[in-house]
Structure 1
Amino acid sequence: MPYLLPPPRAAQPQRLLAPTVTHLARLLLTHAPAIPPLLTAILPSSPSLLTPLLSHLLLSHSPPLPALSLFRRLLELPHFPVPESALPVLLRLLARSRRYAHHSFQLLESLPSTHPHLLSVPALSVIISTALCASAPGASFAAAVSCFESAAAVWARAGRSFGAAELNALLRVFCARGRVAEARALFHRYCDAYPPDTRTFNTLLLGFKEAGHAQALDLFYHDAVLRGFVPDAVSYCVRMDAYCKKGKFLDALQLLDEMRKRENCKPTLQVFTTLIYGAGIVRDAARARRLFDEMEQSGVTPDRGAHNALMGAYVRARDLQSGMALMSEMEQKSFGLDDVTYNTMLCEFQRAGDLEGIWKIYTKMTGSGFMPRTRTTMLLMKVFCENGRPDLGLELWDYLIGKGCVPHRHALDVLVTGLCCRDVVGEAYRCFRELVEMGMAPTERAFRVLEGFLKKKREFGKIDEIRQMMKAIQLEEHQAEEEAA
């Protein structure tokens, strides 16, 4: 049987491009801990680039310190208008690292006197979530409550209102983790100080849904209605999603009929998307398509999420041809393809063992300049290396590095193993160095595999280098932990 992946390609020279978010991210990472003068020259004249730059660093698994240093430098500039959307992204970057999570609230406390406009509900959500995750299981509830009350004091110093929206953020953090009993306790604790709104009840409904308690959700819903709660389209959407995830698709469809009988409660884009997703769960692709077509008849325009839900239904029904046709339709409609689109199709081609299909999706993705998220990167890296084509894994690695992305260190594990097994130890060593130079710590597994193959080649100088790299990284982590303590 002929091999379905393409033959190895000759290395192509890299082109020099005009400064973009990708190039700015790479510039920042390669000069860390220093801040490149080019960044402090470009960003003050183009402040709208800051949020995309931080988002790029977040999605590319970059270390948080360069982003934190850049953000603090920009805060010091007297007339730089820091976008409100930038802070939540930076806080998420910090929250992902145990070494830097403690900087989050310190940064928030410094803002009332200089940048009060940055104190927003999204920023509060990330701060509370960080406090919840960074604490010991038994102390996490108290840590989140303390964080919420401290934030109320910070908001007060800045002269900003603190009410139902902020309470909803607190409840949402607990509900998103299925801790709905604690969310209800917090609701009763603060409902007098911060009068709830419709979104508050919807947040609690969402909590029951995320916890998988469909029966408790129904009881809470009907009790709230008896107490005067007026459900809206979001309320119905949450209940539909709960039914769909339990495989009760017909019950979800009955709620659609119930919605249509109510005044001022028309089905929304989210409602149709949820039902299309539910049809996919029960592998009813025909029903999913009818719901999709029904959207426009109801005056609702499908978006990329609705197309992805329909694609998921096709994939669950093992209809790859319709999935590929829908992908082309999305491009024709200029929706663009996102990581959900690519990952959905790649997973199904992987399940079917269709390497040619995977290659088509991969070339489409890289040809458009799209930067995949970690799950898609890992899927592709495993497919390439496990099928004896680590050269394609190396091509993917260089593509990501060229986009200013720091590949996940587990991607390095797979690539180093694949390259070394094919006797391409020099390239494995280069990738190992690149990850370290971008501020990320390789795993012990990658180190041991590379060390073993370098010993076989008697490359003792390189062995000493990677040992020194690992020692330096471990020392940095130890120092950071001591500073955090």
Structure 2
Amino acid sequence: MPFLGRFSQLLQRPQQLTLLVGIGFRFYSSDLEFEIKRITKIINDHPFPDQPIRPTFAQVIPSAIISTSFVENVLGRLFATHSNGLKAFEFFKFSLQCSEFCPSSDAFEKTLHILTRMRYFSKAWELIEEIQKTHPSLISLKSMSIMLSRIAKFQSFEETLQAFEKLEGKLSDGKQFGTDEFNLLLRAFCTQRQMKEAKSVFNKLYSRFSPTTKTMNILLLGFKESGDVTSVELFYHEMIRRGFKPDTITFNIIIDSYCKRGRFADGLRLLEEMEQVNCFPTLQTITTLIHGAGIAQNTTNAQQLFDEIPKRNLVPDSGAYNALMNAFIRSGNMKSATRLMDEMEENNLLHDNVTFHTMFLGSMKSSGIDGVLELYHKMISKKFVPKMPTVVMLMQHFCKNHKVDEALGFWRYLVESGYCPHSHAMDVLLRSLCSHGRVDEAFECSLQILERGRHLSKTCFRVLEKYLIEMGDEDKLKKLNQMIKKLQIVLPPSTGHAVGFSSFSQDCVASI
């Protein structure tokens, strides 16, 4: 393997090796980047749990390349590709056994995030307990926040409070948690827009902790995310009444709340109030207002705010460009939006997922499927893999316009790139393939999901089940059922996941 030969040479030159490993995410060696992509794809493609994955790690991952940066980036890609959480867990445990590897908080947090996103809480607690014994310094406020936020999302109010108490018992070394940990608990509920629960916790534990402006901002943000401008205004006044001084984050939250409700003028008024109290606007403040001007279809103000960014000694980033781009698209000005996209490249600003998602929406409205396909091929040529909302949107648009070949080609591009597409994308593609008589291809896509350790949705399985029964293809239906049952042994299904044959299909299979 060319990479290993070059890596062996680097081992003889420690200074170059240090430079290679020490540099940041975007700037490591192209050889190392290739190896990260290769290992990620091997992990995603591995037929787990049909075969144990540890022996594969030992065969394909030389101990010489297992560095902190390598492990962090593989886990980051596994997270982005919606990999099976157990595979990521096994990879992290494998890396811990390598004597040269020094685990980082980032690697631990990514593993924890992957597990909890798939609701594998027993494994997440197992991971926390193991790290607490072996590398207690890795456990941070961020890792606790990941755990509490996911429990708040998928479990009950009482279970979230119990998790908070459990973390306090395990991690506080006999001391009680303080305000920072209290803020994490509030954030867990606010992130899920569970404001009734957040206020209940706040009122119940207010006397035990010492809330800060950050505490109040977390609650304010929760009200904003709930879309209730009145509650935002009322809580802001309560915050002032309690003696808390608003900061830049406070003003940014309220401005965002106004802008998302189309109250752009109120956002501008608050900007003036902010400056009057020597609370200087940040790039986020201006970007939020540009977005608000777009919602109000006021492209003149949007452009003016964008042009003011350098005058405020700020530098526009991708977010600012995306906000102005969105403003142009909302007003039907695709020409100016496209010009901005080109300007980003001229200024060495990468097109991110928001850039492509925004431009795809504009293309759908202005030029239809032809414009979408042109932008799609541009994105693919850059080897850019969009996030799942964009994947689902494109899949729906292709299938709606009867571009089944493009939809299937997009699916294969994602899989070949080492990604495991979301079940929503699978549902859309499978329906379209089956309705066009391409049931065998739909079946193969379903196998790819299951082989990568991900559940099929009930909707997906029922559609495929119906067509396979009509075709009299008992073998394919049995194979799907066997793979679903086998996966359930290690990864219990959640609501909405396929659990196997329906009673109707059992009768049909028996009669075939």
Relative to the length of structure 1, the TM-score reads 0.86
| Aligned: 1:148 with 2:191 | no
Q: Distance in 1 between matches of 2:272 and 2:248?
A: 12
Counterpart residue identity of residue 213, structure 1: D
Q: Which residue of 2 aligns with 1:61?
A: 82
- Asked whether the 8 Å contact 2:45–2:452 carries over to 1, the reply is yes
Structure 1 432/162 Cα, relative in aligned 2: closer, same or farther at 3 Å? Answer: same
Structure 1 pair 96–351 and aligned structure 2 pair: CA distance change class (3 A): same
In structure 2, relative to structure 1, the CA distance for the partners of 1:253 and 1:227 (3 Å cut) is same
> 1:318-333 counterparts in 2 under 5 A?
318-333=332-347
Q: Distance in 2 between matches of 1:222 and 1:43?
A: 58
* Match 1:116 to one of 136, 144, 147: 136
CA distance in 1, matches of 2:288, 2:252: 7
**Which of residues 464, 469, 479 is equivalent to 2:475?**
464
Match of 1:130 in 2: 150
- The residue aligned with 2:185 is 170
**CA deviation after TM superposition for structure 1 residue 403, in Å:** 0.7
How many Å apart are 1:455 and its aligned residue?
A: 6.6
The equivalent of 1:251 in structure 2 is: 266
Q: Across the two proteins, how many residue pairs are aligned to each other?
A: 457
**Contact (CA 8 Å) 2:344, 2:351: kept in 1 or not?**
yes
1:363-442 superposed matches below 5 A: 363-442=377-456
CA shift, 1:386, in A, is: 2.7
C-alpha separation in 1, matches of 2:480 and 2:358: 37
Q: Check the 8 A contact 1:155/1:162 in 2, yes or no.
A: no
**Which of residues 224, 235, 255 in structure 2 aligns to 1:220?**
235
Match status 1:301 vs 2:315: yes
Do 2:450 and 2:483's aligned partners in 1 also have CA atoms closer than 8 Å?
Answer: no
Which SS does the other structure have where 2:309 is aligned?
A: helix
Matching residue's letter, 2:67: S
SS of 1:259 mapped into structure 2? helix
Q: Indicate the residue corresponding to 1:272 in structure 2.
A: 286
1:48, 1:83 within 8 Å by CA — same for their partners in 2?
A: no
Alignment of 1:82-121 (within 5 A): 82-98=103-119, 100-121=120-141
What letter corresponds to residue 173 of structure 1 in structure 2?
A
Residue 422 of structure 1 deviates from its aligned partner by 4.3
The amino acid of 2:456's aligned partner reads P
Asked whether the equivalents of residues 62 and 405 of structure 1 are also in contact (C-alpha less than 8 Å), the reply is yes
Point out where structure 2 has 5 or more consecutive residues left out of the alignment: 1-30, 494-512
Question: 1:307 Cα deviation (Å)?
Answer: 1.2
Contact 2:212 2:244 in 1 (8 A): no
**8 Å Cα contact 1:391/1:419 also seen in 2:** no
Per-residue CA shift, 1:404-458, capped at 9, x if unaligned? 0011233233333434444544433432322222222334544455556567777
Structure 1 range deviating more: 470-479 or 403-412: 470-479
State the shift of 1:165 in Å: 2.3
Query: 208-217 vs 184-193, which deviates more?
Result: 184-193
Give the conservation status (yes or no) of the 8 Å contact 1:44–1:80: no
Aligned twin of 2:328 = 314
Paired amino acid for 1:467? K
Q: Is the 8 A contact 1:23 1:403 kept in 2?
A: no
Residue identity matched to 1:144: T
1:260-316 Cα offsets, whole Å, 9 max, x none, are: 1123x2110111111111111111111111111111111111111111111111111
Q: Is the 8 Å Cα contact of residues 84 and 118 (structure 1) preserved in structure 2? A: yes
Gaps of 5+ in 1: 1-15
Change (3 A) 1:37 1:160: farther
RMSD: 2.7
Separation in 2, partners of 1:162, 1:196: 13
Letter in 1 for 2:422: H
Decide whether the 8 Å contact of 2:152 with 2:192 is kept in 1.
no
Q: CA deviation at 1:130?
A: 2.3
- Deviations 1:49-92, CA, capped at 9 Å, x for gaps: 22332222222222111011112222344452112112232222
* 8 Å Cα contact 2:44-2:420 kept in structure 1: no
Query: Cα distance, 1:342 vs. partner?
Result: 0.9
CA offsets 1:125-169 (integer angstroms, 9 cap, x no match): 11112222332xxxx222212211221222224x99943322221
When residues 191 and 42 of structure 1 are mapped into structure 2, their CA distance, relative to the original with a 3 A threshold, is: farther
Q: Shift of the alpha carbon at 1:464?
A: 0.6
Return the letter of the residue paired with 1:171: L
Q: Is the 8 A contact 2:468 2:477 kept in 1?
A: no
SS in 2 for 1:337: coil
- Indicate conservation of the 8 Å contact 2:112/2:127, yes or no: no
Contact 1:277 1:310 in 2 (8 A): yes
Query: Are the counterparts in 2 of residues 43 and 50 from structure 1 also a CA contact under 8 Å?
Result: no
Q: Deviations over 1:362-408 (max 9, x none)?
A: 01111111111112112222222332321112211111111100112
Three-state SS of the structure 2 residue aligned to 1:85 is helix
Contact 1:43 1:49 in 2 (8 A): no
Distance in 1 (CA, whole Å) between partners of 2:234 and 2:64 is 52
Once residues 34 and 309 of structure 2 are traced to their aligned partners in structure 1, the CA distance between those partners, rounded to angstroms, is: 41
What is residue 73 of structure 1 aligned with on the other side?
94
CA distance in 1, matches of 2:337, 2:36: 32
- The answer to whether the 8 A contact 1:339-1:372 is kept is yes
Q: In the alignment, is the contact (CA less than 8 A) between 1:441 and 1:470 conserved in 2?
A: no
Q: Equivalents in 2 of 1:443, 1:125: separation in Å?
A: 29
Q: Which residue of 2 aligns with 1:12?
A: none
CA separation of 1:415/1:42 partners in 2, compared to 1, >3 Å: closer, same or farther?
Answer: farther
CA deviation after TM superposition for structure 1 residue 472, in Å: 2.8
What whole-Å deviation, never above 9, does each CA across 1:11-48 have from its counterpart, x for those lacking one? Answer: xxxxx997333321111123334132256425863221
Q: Is the Cα contact below 8 Å between 1:175 and 1:203 reproduced in 2?
A: yes
Contact 1:155 1:161 in 2 (8 A): no
Between the aligned residues of both structures, percent identity stands at 35
